[in-house]
Chain A
Amino acid sequence: MMNYKIFIWMLIVPFVINGQNKISGNHSTQNLTCSTCHSCDIPTKENPCIKVCPRESMIRIDQPVTDAPKIFVINKIRETDIYSPVKFSHLAHAEMSGLAGGCRTCHHYNPPGNVIGCSDCHESSRKRTDISKPDLKGAYHQQCMNCHRAWSGSTDCTVCHELKGKEKSQTSVVSNNKKRIHPEIKTPDKISFAAKTKQGKLVTFYHNEHINLFSLECSDCHSNESCIKCHSTNKTASTKTISEKIKHKKCSSCHNTESNCSSCHSNSEAGGFNHKSVTGFDLSKFHSKLDCARCHTSKSGFKGLNNECKTCHGTWTLENFKHKSTGLVLDETHSELDCENCHKELSYSKPVCEDCHDDKSYPNNLPGKRAK
């Protein structure tokens, strides 16, 4: 009996371990250990032993930051009583984070779904058995100080804390917080950057296209600059010259900034993005409503595609192609023909009539009727 059990385990264990190694996409890119989310050592599909999330709070991680709760009184840490609880202007901070990573700026590792509060993962007692992540006090300060320190250069406790016995009244803090709600951050349409080069001294950056057309998130370019970008107390630091390399870094994840200067730099203001003039492929007829990613599927940056139809659509046959979608319903005779009989080019553009008809030509003569 015993031996039999051991045998079964020997069969199972390699699979379990193998399953462990294949951590799917999102997991492997985050700096996570298994125990951050799973309560058991070997989570399986049947029993993932995911740690509980607070189901009662209905704010989801992907909701706009403006939906965030206004004020929290942070009073879960009582070990030291030097300072009184902080009245944290949560909404103001959420709005400020809009330019960085949204809610996830602070609610890191939050799984899709409801927002999980800090204390659901970080223990409120410093004396604890699981020391693999900071306790609540450490977690709060590590999140706060990252920005506060960069922004003001100060580590003074009294920026946020009031010494016990020297508190202002609760109401004045609340009304103060109301005033401090961050104004909406307006996105510009286009920005012209002056480069220091002789040739191509102007870079016209279409901010709106990068958001609307190329679907970039604010945080794709603006991460980690949430406060100091605008609020640096150290003015010399914010206006000091940044090296060319750092300036190009933001663009280079999509653009080739090493050798292809002229795609961004020109001597006069450049027009917006035009797929036809830049790539030679006219989107206007059938492809204008598509997201870029429908065709440009490569995850590692934007790649040019072959402009033959079959690159995306595969080979067209009478069965899988409804000619009506081109705006022309073929008549009975023509609907029996193979595509290639009329369309000689791989782009399936203008048909050739002369092979069969001496006296007919497109578009003067049509092989069917225009669809309405």
Chain B
Amino acid sequence: MLEVKSVNASYGDFQALWDVSLVVNAGEIVVLIGPNGAGKTTLMRTIVGLHRPSAGNVVLDGHSTARLDGCELVERGVALVPEGRKLFGGMSVLENLEMGAYTARARQARAQTLAWVWQVFPVLAERRRQIASTLSGGMQQMLAIGRALMSLPRLLLLDEPSLGLAPLIVQNIFDVVNLVNRKGVAVLLVEQNARAALEIAQRAYVMERGRIAGQGTGAELLSDPNVRRAYLGYISTGKNLAEGT
């Protein structure tokens, strides 16, 4: 459904993506891991048209998106939950969700989708009149995901949704990602929380310094010694540093 073909992307003189290729098939959960500054966010933004590639192509359902305006991608079923949530801070919870259903396609089904989002995130329903910027971090993240779901995506992109959140809420968010995927939505997930992400992933990519440095099934990467050392907190003796503290 999504093919990223040999994409380069730059900020002025600085090239952030080098010949990046990646595929997400219909119905899959694909995870992208990598250290800070690897270019994960840049790749996500390039996929949704907020950033233009300097070379290469983003292909959706067999058609290049190069000529599409940023606002047209959501019509074609691509939704991004951006890094840092980027909610409409002055608007209420309900208004944020209504804005999620801005496209003609989503607007028709708004009432049903909204009922479903309330069901997925009951705490949001309780606070539907609250102004988004006054919500806690966890609820803001739920709202950001809810807003993306309101557009009825076929491909959901999430950029570090668990960043800075309590473990219980992180678990909740991973559960929701699974739930949405079982409804037939393909997922591309960028995560720092590599273990939890690789566990739910069918396939995964590792990104380092603007390049794809490795790929495989979730299980393959979970057992890959390099990945374990770099992203899962293991040292070669097998002792888990993260769990040891």
Bound together: no
Query: Hey, which bits of chain B sit against chain A, CB under 8 A?
Result: none
Query: Hey, which bits of chain A sit against chain B, CB under 8 A?
Result: none
